Structure 1
Amino acid sequence: MQKRMVMEKIYWLGAVDWDRRLFDSLIPLPDGTTYNAYLIEGSEKTALLDTVDPSMAETLMAQLDGVDKIDFIVSHHAEQDHSGSIIRVLEKFPEAKVVVTSKGKNLLMDLFAINESSFVTVADGETISLGDKTLKFIHTPWVHWPETMVTYLQENKLLFSCDFYGSHIASGDLFVTDQGRVNEAAKRYFAEIMMPFRSIIEKNMQKLEAYDIQMIAPSHGQIYDRPAWIMDAYRDWVSGPPHNLVVLPFVSMHGSTRQMVDRLTSALVAEEVRVEMFNLAVTDIGKLAMALVDAATVIIGVPTVLAGPHPLAAYAALLANALKPKVKFLSIIGSYGWGGKTVETLSAMIPNLKAEILDPVMCKGAPSAPDLNALDRLAATIAKKHKENKFQ
């Protein structure tokens, strides 16, 4: 794909990765992704903002054919999908300086052995003039690595946000045209990558409130030429209250836990509580992460295997603990054959979730009438707590 004009003297470069389906050998990419870089031609100097994943380096280098010089390579984030082609760009433009935070400099030297003399470090709020265009660098640590920053192009009121507001979605569209599709992709991106850093992201969003942002150009996904809606969405995902939602990841080996999950789901729906169930044997883990963004309550449905939780349920607990959603209530339901410590083991896996623990419901073998009644009471308790907290 050729470089494309964003506005006068500002170009999108990069690559659309239509085929990629897994990121970091962990994160599903059902819609592929893009690696966005941007070229800004000032009246005196030229800057390249970010590069691309090394697998797409040839695409970027072809787009740079005909570019006479690059004075600055701005590296917002050291992760390889953004900075992995810097070495190639420096080979073509050896006089270019790599603009980074001080932490970014150290990471890039460790990852790519870039010579220290190639770097220019910038402080929070520092500017670099390209002549008739001014780049202002805003440090945004832990969005989502410690060295990250964003760039505000002052004259054009354009924010180059790197992973901030990004979305893994492959498209030939330069700008957002399908807001619903992009919203889902951006929410998945937030859930899988950004959610663990909600409190710090909130502070970084407050820093950005001082700027008149008319356009956002992220490093993954399409450009937001009307960015208010994605900024509002982030505010809700980061600091808005949980929703009237129970997320119920479960696994069942012989049907007993599934009976319990179905009974609890039916009882919750009757209590006007929304439920999203995820069969861990087949679910898209990204969909589970997205649901956790809004969840007020998480209930894990788990059978006992070798005296402990089924490994898929343990994985779900570890995932929730790592993502740190804003859930308020937690519980466990499930069955066992001859004994075990499933509840104790799972409980120890979620220390990051500062939530109220509701009494678990564990049954021996298939659920009996008293077990089913206990599930009804659990549903009533959850509904009452959601109403008391005015979750919508």
Structure 2
Amino acid sequence: MKEVTDRVAWVGAIDWDRRLFDSLVPLPDGTTYNAYLVRGSEKTALLDTVDPHFSDTLFSALDGVSQIDYVVSHHAEQDHSGTIPLILSRFPKAKVVVTAKAKRMLMDLLPIPEEAFLVVADGDSLSLGDRTLTFIHTPWVHWPETMSSYLVEEKILFSCDFFGSHIASSDLLATDRCRVHEAAKRYFAEIMMPFRSIIAKNLDKLSNYDIRMIAPSHGQIYDQPGWIVDSYREWVSAAPRNLVTLPFVSMHGSTRIMVDHLASALSKRKVGVELFNLSVTDIGKLAMSLVDAGSIVLGAPTVLAGPHPLAAYAAFLANALRPKAQFLSIVGSYGWGGKTVDILAGMIPNLKVEVLAPVLCKGLPKKDTLAALDGLAESIALKHRENRYGN
């Protein structure tokens, strides 16, 4: 147990070794499962639990705690709520505080009896005596049932995955702002970006509260929360940057020649470009680049008449994350023919983009292909200038 204030303690767990989340998301810095104990003069509330693999760590932190009256489940996923059944076995009189949607989901996911739940509406408050929790429904950050809690007297927002980051650290507070900013942006890119428009509304809702501290369910606590809120507003609502995100794969070097030429042509026209070799890239880094990009160009050689599987995966990822890029194109080499462009175009229905003329060549790129790549670079530069994309 680590004290956050004299009435709030961190009772979570640090996962130093985890390198993959949901068998999908890279975790280069591990993560934490944050749980908080709020002690009022009359009642005690546990805000979130931990991943079940760390239940012993949670119970060790709660050693000496004789009473828990409420267990607040901000989010039904296992890493937040998976240990609730064990908590209820230790504290059988505790009520599980949830949104109506979370109640249904938790009954599907975990062996929690219906009579254990206390459903709260948006804006409801719960008295702990001299401390008060107000519940703020924040749906789709990043599941439909998600909510946050606001500790009125302390002005602390317990934000669940909102503003979270995957960092394993023994430091409670986000003192290394550069490191936390990158981790939080990675977290936003991989998890939150598909829900940008709803997150913008949730940010507006939070502006009604005087927030002195933000305590998320992953990562470190923000004791100066203004900068992370401002970062979220930028990631959600700011115009794209004068940047091209260029994920690619090359089997025999031809597509790589095209990608390198296009990158140079873009740079000469003062357009930023970030290359991601899909055979080795960190997908989280690619997702972070997509947060800002004004354009996406996919480098895809043809395999068995269609796009290389890694290029198809990149298209699937971009379609799922729904970045705010407004322009897209495809470059690549083929051996005898195929439908690479048609297949990739059919994989991105969620992207509201203007598709610029793709550049494909048979075999090794020659002068006409390089000239077409120069033309594509010029088209992208013009589009970015017309839309006033900044750096």
2-side partners of 1:388 and 1:142: how far apart? 33
2-side partners of 1:306 and 1:325: how far apart? 29
Please tell me whether residue 124 in structure 1 is matched to residue 106 in structure 2: no
1-side partners of 2:60 and 2:52: how far apart? 14
Aligned to 2:356: 358
Deviation at 1:8, TM superposition (A): 1.1
Aligned to 2:275: 277
1-side partners of 2:144 and 2:281: how far apart? 31
Gaps of 5+ in 1: none
Aligned to 2:138: 140
Please tell me whether residue 236 in structure 1 is matched to residue 234 in structure 2: yes
2-side partners of 1:9 and 1:346: how far apart? 54
- SS of the aligned residue for 2:273 comes to strand
Moved more, 317-326 or 61-70: 61-70
Aligned to 2:329: 331
- SS of the aligned residue for 2:223 comes to coil
Deviations, residues 233-265 of structure 1 (Å, cap 9, x unaligned): 000001111001000000000110000000000
User: 2:96·2:118 contact (CA, 8 Å) conserved in 1?
Assistant: yes
- TM-score, normalising length from structure 2? 0.99
- SS of the aligned residue for 2:302 comes to strand
Aligned to 2:163: 165
Identical columns (%): 70
Aligned to 2:45: 47
Deviation at 1:177, TM superposition (A): 1.0
- SS of the aligned residue for 2:281 comes to coil
User: 2:240·2:389 contact (CA, 8 Å) conserved in 1?
Assistant: yes
Structural RMSD (CA): 0.5
1-side partners of 2:8 and 2:337: how far apart? 65
Q: Could you tell me which amino acid in structure 2 is paired with residue 389 of structure 1?
A: N
Query: Of residues 256, 260, 263 in structure 1, which corresponds to 2:261?
Result: 263
Q: How does 1:80-159 map to 2 (within 5 A)?
A: 80-159=78-157
Deviations, residues 58-90 of structure 1 (Å, cap 9, x unaligned): 000111110010000000000000001001111
2-side partners of 1:157 and 1:43: how far apart? 17
Aligned to 2:35: 37
Moved more, 378-387 or 313-322: 378-387
Deviation at 1:95, TM superposition (A): 0.3
1-side partners of 2:52 and 2:238: how far apart? 37
Deviations, residues 81-136 of structure 1 (Å, cap 9, x unaligned): 00010011111100000000011011111111200010000000000000101000
Aligned to 2:9: 11
1-side partners of 2:388 and 2:171: how far apart? 40
- SS of the aligned residue for 1:156 comes to coil
Please tell me whether residue 186 in structure 1 is matched to residue 184 in structure 2: yes
Q: Could you tell me which amino acid in structure 2 is paired with residue 79 of structure 1?
A: E
Q: Could you tell me which amino acid in structure 1 is paired with residue 329 of structure 2?
A: S
Aligned to 2:384: 386
2-side partners of 1:359 and 1:141: how far apart? 38
- SS of the aligned residue for 2:33 comes to strand
2-side partners of 1:87 and 1:62: how far apart? 16
Q: Could you tell me which amino acid in structure 2 is paired with residue 211 of structure 1?
A: Y
Deviation at 1:9, TM superposition (A): 1.2
Please tell me whether residue 212 in structure 1 is matched to residue 222 in structure 2: no
Deviations, residues 300-338 of structure 1 (Å, cap 9, x unaligned): 001000000000000000000000000010000001111
Deviations, residues 187-217 of structure 1 (Å, cap 9, x unaligned): 0000000000111111111111100111000
1-side partners of 2:94 and 2:195: how far apart? 33
2-side partners of 1:345 and 1:205: how far apart? 37
1-side partners of 2:113 and 2:300: how far apart? 52
2-side partners of 1:47 and 1:245: how far apart? 46
2-side partners of 1:8 and 1:140: how far apart? 27
2-side partners of 1:355 and 1:161: how far apart? 32
- SS of the aligned residue for 2:164 comes to coil
Query: Of residues 198, 201, 204 in structure 1, which corresponds to 2:199?
Result: 201
Deviation at 1:389, TM superposition (A): 1.0
2-side partners of 1:94 and 1:65: how far apart? 16
Deviation at 1:268, TM superposition (A): 0.3
- SS of the aligned residue for 1:296 comes to strand
2-side partners of 1:294 and 1:132: how far apart? 44
Aligned to 2:65: 67
User: 2:279·2:310 contact (CA, 8 Å) conserved in 1?
Assistant: yes
Query: Of residues 301, 308, 311 in structure 1, which corresponds to 2:309?
Result: 311
Aligned to 2:249: 251
Please tell me whether residue 299 in structure 1 is matched to residue 297 in structure 2: yes
1-side partners of 2:63 and 2:369: how far apart? 70
Q: Could you tell me which amino acid in structure 1 is paired with residue 371 of structure 2?
A: N
1-side partners of 2:295 and 2:2: how far apart? 45
